[in-house]
Structure 1
Amino acid sequence: MKAKILIVYASMTGNTEEMAHLIGDGVIQAGAVLVRKDIIEVSAADLQSYDGILIGAYTWGDGDLPDEFLDFYEEMDPLHLSGKKTAVFGSCSSSYEHRGRAVDLLIEKLTEIGADIKLKGLKIDLAPSSEEKKLCIQYGRSFVEKSFGLIGTVTP
Structure 2
Amino acid sequence: MASAKIVYASMTGNNEEIADIVSEALENLDVDVDVSEISQADAEDFEDVDICIVATYTYGDGELPDEAVDFFEDLEEEDLANKIYGVCGSGDTFYDDFGKSVDDFDAAFQKSGATKGAETVKVDLEAEEDDIEHLEAFAKSLVEKAANN
Higher relative contact order (CA 8 A, sep 6+): 1
Deviations 1:105-154 (A, max 9, x none): 001011011010111111000001122223222322222123225xxxxx
Which residue in 1 is equivalent to 2:25? 26
- Please say if residues 81 and 112 of structure 2, whose CA atoms lie closer than 8 Å, have aligned partners that are also in contact: yes
Query: Which runs of 5 or more structure 1 residues have no equivalent in the other structure?
Result: 150-156
* 1:9-88 correspondence runs (5 A): 9-88=8-87
When normalised by structure 2's length, the TM-score is: 0.94
Which residue in 1 is equivalent to 2:134? 135
> Quick check: which one's helix share is greater?
2
Cα displacement (A) at 1:78: 2.4
Aligned length: 148
Amino acid at match of 1:67: D
CA distance in 2, matches of 1:79, 1:146: 20
Q: Which has the larger radius of gyration?
A: 1
Deviations 1:22-56 (A, max 9, x none): 01111011111111111122111111111111111
Structure 1 runs (4+) greater than 3 angstroms displaced = none
Q: Percent of pairs identical after alignment?
A: 32
Query: Which runs of 5 or more structure 2 residues have no equivalent in the other structure?
Result: none
Deviations 1:91-113 (A, max 9, x none): 01111111100000001011011
RMSD over equivalenced CA pairs, Å: 1.2
- Paired residue secondary structure (1:91): strand
When normalised by structure 1's length, the TM-score is: 0.90
